[in-house]
Chain A
């Protein structure tokens, strides 16, 4: 009897697969990868320092001391160079910026920060992109505004241009 049942397993598996696929075909679909985490607490993470002598970044740190701007970047990312002056301007306003460096190396990071400015209070090393994925971010650069309780309030995809500054500052002020 056992031997007979096993021959029906393929059909059963296939039926499940085809129902899922059929559902997927007609379910409304949104092809842009968006953070589903706006309004939710940042996922738990604890990233080691990306450079020696600087603090790393953990979700615990984000839940303390007022709102934060979290910038996901990398030294190998060209748009990140474009947005560097805007991040510097934010830092000069006294807005704390925490960095998450994606798939980066300390020596490359140091060169990048030396060349394009260093607005970061702390930089966590996300070597395998896991935290980036958990934050619902699809690429670099991306910027999140997190309020004092560690809840994500705003997400900006791509380089921050002059024109995007107002939206980020507004989100930061609203999160206070």
Chain B
């Protein structure tokens, strides 16, 4: 009955989204004032129904109801409860239901909490959100029904992909989706504002907190996903330029640009068309990413199902939504008033450059991700790997970071180059000193990590500069937010550059009792023992690492074999120090009784995710700051 209830709830939610669209459209007609008050409650009800449908699916997974096809295909009664729970979205249908649920709840949140937007724009926004929802409800109900029954009922389920059986999976996809799909609000805001011709500072101030919330979740989701890949896949890397990683990075880049351009629009009334464009692009990237993953058109570790029919369905949907929004943009944006002018040397100009550089990186990642499709169309199979992305996106990112450091030091409207030079002197000197020290003291390295390492201290100093001579207790939260987020970028940059420049990799075939050097460590391979978990068996190696004369640390990497489905995985062992991580993975045994061991010493690699956390924290502080100020000064 639960499955039928879930399906019924989903149909009801879909019907309500249709109602929301029709009501919204009717309310915007000259005689439709009577409908105005109905739109908000319908949007809230739609969000609740979608949430309940999703709760039904989780309930089915927790009970391991094998008469439901999706549960039988992706779960197993012997699985720990956390993975039964997380298994609900560790598959195509379930993750699409989560997608739609987040979409509906985001719409409901706007209906409940948005008080500053002009009423007609709000109604148009909710109608746009409902229009998106309607298409994806159709996709679920006609092409990806998660509640389909299965007869005869199997005795046992197939189990969940063991790579996904990790506590990280329980939280990574929902976090990412809140950002990834939450950014749909920006899209709907943009469409709403184009319909009612309401693009201006008030609109920007209303949109900003929503963009911030989605952006915070997106940042957290990407950071967590990167760490998950790092410790779970056992390759020792933290970013692989996998199509799905790119699919989450592209909306983040667009949302980051949007966050900055919306500030120009809110503060100075400039960048109107551009801000609207970015809002459309950000969620378009989410939809394109969903399409890339769900259609299986690009090969990826994240691909669940390869089904061209589903791919075609989503392709039609996104062609309709993105094409429609861009058509509206082409028709309407020329009527939007030009914004206020500004000088070449000004905060606005720095933000424009920031936006352009972010867009360039976005474009490069987009081209790299889709390039295999283009060459395939021309009759060649090609894969584009990290060498391309690092080589093209890296330098642009460094320039971007340099401008990020300068931006907050500039005044709005106009500033003097001389004054900027005075303010930027300390950070520039810091970076120059770091560069000199690295060239003299450090072993030779690539120019990209070298520049990254040199720039990091300067950028960090420049990031905290806005706090200089301020009363820290009276500094508004959004200033703190900017400072901490920019500082997070510097910290992440230092981590990435250090990991890339100083990582020591050792690959050996070792016998028990043998000792291996890994960076500053002596690692003694004591031997292997079999271990048994709830739904896996493993060979576990015991290694004792010693740094100089310090206390020994035991590391236990495993080569696991999951029982359902039978799949081998590598569980790396990681020892975290203040200045880096020792990372050990175990491979197979050869004929002579030696075990493959991979050891990495990764200096300051943890800074990458610490920085990611700081960026998200900065976003949170900025959000609190904006909301507080709004409460004090209602529009």
Contacts and interface: CB of A to CB of B under 8 A. Distances in A.
Interface of A: 3-4, 7-8, 10-11, 14-15, 17-18, 20-27, 29-31, 33-34, 36, 76, 78, 128-129
Given A7-B329, A14-B322, A128-B387, A31 B299 contact: yes
6 contacts: A10-B326, A10-B329, A22-B315, A27-B377, A78-B596, A128-B387
A4 B331 CA distance: 9
A150 B25 CA distance: 69
A105 B299 CA distance: 32
Contacts of B376: 24, 27, 29
A11 B507 contact: no
B380 interface: yes
Given A29-B376, A33-B381, A11 B329 contact: yes
A3 B326 CA distance: 16
A34 B381 contact: yes
B576 interface: no
A25 B280 CA distance: 24
Contacts of A7: 273, 329-330, 333-334
Interface of B: 273, 277, 280-281, 284, 291, 295, 297, 299, 308, 311-312, 315, 318-319, 322-323, 326-327, 329-330, 333-334, 370, 373-374, 376-377, 380-381, 383, 387, 507, 509, 587, 596
A-B residue pairs, 3 tightest by C-beta: A24-B373, A11-B326, A8-B330
A7 B329 CA distance: 7
A31 B369 CA distance: 16
Contacts of B297: 21, 24-25
Nearest to B587: A78
A31 to B, nearest CB: 6
A10 B273 CA distance: 12
Given A24-B376, A25-B295, A25-B311, A18 B330 contact: no
Given A11-B323, A33-B381, A76-B507, A20 B374 contact: yes
Chain A, interface SS category: helix
A109 B229 CA distance: 30
A8 B334 CA distance: 10
Contacts of A36: 380-381
Interface-central residue, A11, A20, A23, by most chain B CB under 10 Å: A11
Contacts of B291: 21
Contacts of B587: 78
B329 A25 contact: no
B360 to A, nearest CB: 14
Contacts of A31: 299, 381
A24 B329 contact: no
A11 B330 contact: yes
Nearest to B322: A14
Contacts of A21: 291, 297, 315, 370, 373
A116 to B, nearest CB: 12
Given A20-B377, A25-B295, A129-B387, A10 B277 contact: yes
A15 B507 contact: no
Given A22-B312, A25-B315, A78-B596, 12 more contacts: A7-B329, A10-B326, A10-B330, A11-B323, A15-B323, A18-B318, A24-B376, A25-B297, A25-B311, A29-B376, A31-B299, A33-B383
B385 to A, nearest CB: 9
Contacts of B319: 18
Contacts of B374: 20
Contacts of A11: 323, 326-327, 329-330
Contacts of A33: 381, 383
B587 to A, nearest CB: 8
A11 B273 CA distance: 14
Contacts of B333: 7
Nearest to A23: B377
Contact of A18 (B277, B315, B377): B315
A17 B329 contact: no
A86 to B, nearest CB: 16
A128 to B, nearest CB: 7
